[in-house]
Chains A and B, each alone.
Chain A
Amino acid sequence: NAGVTQTPKFQVLKTGQSMTLQCAQDMNHEYMSWYRQDPGMGLRLIHYSVGAGITDQGEVPNGYNVSRSTTEDFPLRLLSAAPSQTSVYFCASESDYNTEAFFGQGTRLTVV
Chain B
Amino acid sequence: GNSVTQMEGPVTLSEEAFLTINCTYTATGYPSLFWYVQYPGEGLQLLLKATKADDKGSNKGFEATYRKETTSFHLEKGSVQVSDSAVYFCAATGAGGTSYGKLTFGQGTILTVHP
Chain A residues within an 8 Å CB radius of B36: 101
In the bound complex, do residue B102 and residue A105 qualify as a contact, i.e. CB atoms below 8 Å apart? no
Q: Say yes or no: A45-B49 contact (C-beta < 8 A), given A103-B43, A106-B43.
A: no
Specify which of A40, A48, A100 is in contact with B102 (CB 8 Å cutoff). Answer: A48
Number of CB contacts from chain A to chain B under 8 A: 56
- Which residue from A4, A101, A106 sits with its C-beta under 8 Å from B103? A101
Q: Smallest Cβ distance from A37 to chain B, in angstroms?
A: 8
| A42/B89 in contact, CB under 8 A | yes
Closest Cβ of chain B: how far from A4's Cβ, in Å? Answer: 7
Interface size class of A (residues with CB under 8 A): 20 to 34
- Are A97 and B44 in touch, CB under 8 angstroms? no
Q: Which B58-115 residues have a C-beta within 8 angstroms of A?
A: 89, 93, 100-108
Q: Are A103 and B45 in contact (CB under 8 A)?
A: yes
Quote the shortest CB–CB distance from B90 to chain A (angstroms). Answer: 9
Q: Are B43 and A50 in contact (CB under 8 A)?
A: no
A101 touches B101 (CB 8 A): no
Closest 4 CB pairs of A and B: A103-B43, A97-B101, A42-B105, A42-B107
